[in-house]
Amino acid sequence: MSKVSIILVSHQRPQMVREAISSLLSQTMLDWELVIVENSGKDDKCARTVCGDAAASDVRIKVLYHDENVDNIAVCWNEGLDVITGEYWGTIDDDNKKDPTFCEKMSAYLDEHRDKSAVVCGMRHIGDKSGDHLPWAGQLERLHIENAIDSGEILYRRSVVEKIGQFDERLVCQEDWGYVLRLLRLAGPEAFGFLGETLCEYRWHPEKRMLRSIDLGMIDCAALLRGDVRGQQLRVAFHAPSDKALTVSQATIKRNLDHALQTLPFVETVQSDAELSLVVGPLWTFSAGEIGASRNGGTPSMALLIEDPQGMPGNLQCIDAIDWLVTNDTHSYHFYRTVVPRPEQVYQWNCLSLTDEVLGMDATQETEKQHDVCFVGYPYPSRVEFIRTLRPLISNASIVLLGDGWDAHEIPNVSTFPTLSEVETAKIGLASRIIVCKHRTSQDCGGFPIVVPGSVNRGYIECAYRALVMIDSDRPFSAFKDEVEWYESANDAAEKIKHYLANPDQLQEKADRAFAIAPRFTYKERLGKILNAWRSPRYNVKVD
């Protein structure tokens, strides 16, 4: 995680983008990251090469490449927002530059003024114009009339994205104006601080994007902004079956989703006059009439499907009453896209998400590591075979098996626990050095005829346990990269377990990397991302 994240969108201006990148490399504060969205297209090699060379020479620089130009800069900013890690974030156009003290001074201001959501500096005009532009607090009163603050002059707290969402992709220009307006409407003028120094450079030249704003629809976008009410709270009605109709895990997920919805700063939960009806499934626990009634006279509906694909046959009976489907299974995701009228309105997420309580346990208790290996999951046949093979290969390691039914298999020299609450499970995980996860096979689930179940990733909860997380590599989709250790077989897992137990520093380094991204997997973060995707609208967003 970095202190400051800067997002740069590059488009066919290699010399200028080189200067923009150089201005970041010259920062007096070293704790920053630069995420470049290279939007030139694969046929423009020059700018792509400049960006690629920069990333190869400095680990703080990451490049996201577009094979084709996306003529919507809001989309590009949002792609950057999806991957940044900084406590604070800002943007830079590829033809502009930052003063060497930008990151240091702007972040220091937000460190000192914890009540501010954003800080604004001034900019120096270069190129075809000269002079300084120094915004001040009084300009906020006229912000609904004119765009008086440039996006490069602002550094935001990361929490702003939670409060107001991402950039509005309906706006093909003026998207930065729309974003500042939304924060102003929601948080008020007191959310902004003003530094009173010129800490960035704004280049005027014939290809300046602002000079093409008329072609991009500036007048239409400005009218849209002035009449826009989407900066206010999103009104959501929450519908779910009673706990009696759900399994224990489904009821737990329902309660956690409800709690997350109540804590999202940009959401207002309502019983009527909703903008979105959020239906938590399996859908077969509802009748089609009940789902129709939840729409309250035409309210768009989004279904969060739990435990696909086992519930798929029942879900299909109600699918016509739903506008958006959000499934927690990769194969189900692809299947639904073949049967619904609008496949772009099928999302994917993982319902096994972290609670804030579990994520915070590491900070509230110091747990001694008592177990070498903890295996999490029910004893499906493939998992039992895996553990029976693994046990003699790591005979000196202590193993804990967590899940109902393991004791019946009488595997020697292991400790077993039944399925426990999230908190009690976390206590065992926090007391373990290595967490091993393995997904189910189709045979484990009786050879389900349509899709292979179990394609929902594990590890999202376990990464909060400050342990090395190991996951089998047969995964069609994963949010993890090298933060976890992948294994191909029981033999491969055994060799890696022995290696890491013999090298505790390497184990801890890997565990820390997994823990660093754990906040991305909380119910609040995931549900917020889905709802922001619906608001933008950014359809077909996969939630890591």
For domain 356-521, the CATH class is alpha beta
* For the chain, counts of helices (H) and of strands (E): 18, 21
Strand 154-157 to 88-93 pairing = antiparallel
Under CATH, what is the fold of the domain 4-226?
Answer: Spore Coat Polysaccharide Biosynthesis Protein SpsA; Chain A (3.90.550)
Check the CA dihedral 428-429-432-438 and report its sign: positive
- The per-residue DSSP string of 225-264 comes to HHT--TTSPEEEEEE---GGGS-HHHHHHHHHHHHHHHH-
Which residues lie closer than 8 Å to 167 by C-beta, 6 or more apart? 74, 77, 78, 81, 175, 176, 178, 179, 536
How many Cβ atoms are within 10 Å of 62's Cβ, its own excluded? Answer: 19
Beta bridge partners of 127: 204
**Closest to 442 measured CA to CA, from 544, 340, 329:** 329
**Helix-strand-coil split of the chain, %, nearest 5:** 40, 20, 35
Check if the beta carbon of residue 457 is closer than 8 Å to that of residue 477: yes
* 107 token code pair: 């972040």
Domain with CATH 3.40.50.2000 in the chain: 356-521
**Confidence at residue 218, expressed as pLDDT on a 0 to 100 scale:** 45
**Confidence at residue 213, expressed as pLDDT on a 0 to 100 scale:** 40
pTM: 0.60
Dihedral of the alpha carbons of 120, 100, 158, 227, in degrees to the nearest 10:
40
Residue 504 DSSP symbol: H
Domain with CATH 3.90.550.10 in the chain: 4-226
Q: Which residues of the chain have pLDDT under 70?
A: 172-173, 206-233, 287-289, 292, 294-298, 307-311, 330-331, 350-352, 362-367, 442, 445-458, 475-479, 533, 535-544
* 318 token code pair: 């109600």
**Confidence at residue 217, expressed as pLDDT on a 0 to 100 scale:** 45
How far is it, in rounded angstroms, from Cα 284 to Cα 316? 8
Say how far residue 139 (Cα) sits from the centre of its chain. 33
**Closest to 496 measured CA to CA, from 434, 440, 439:** 434
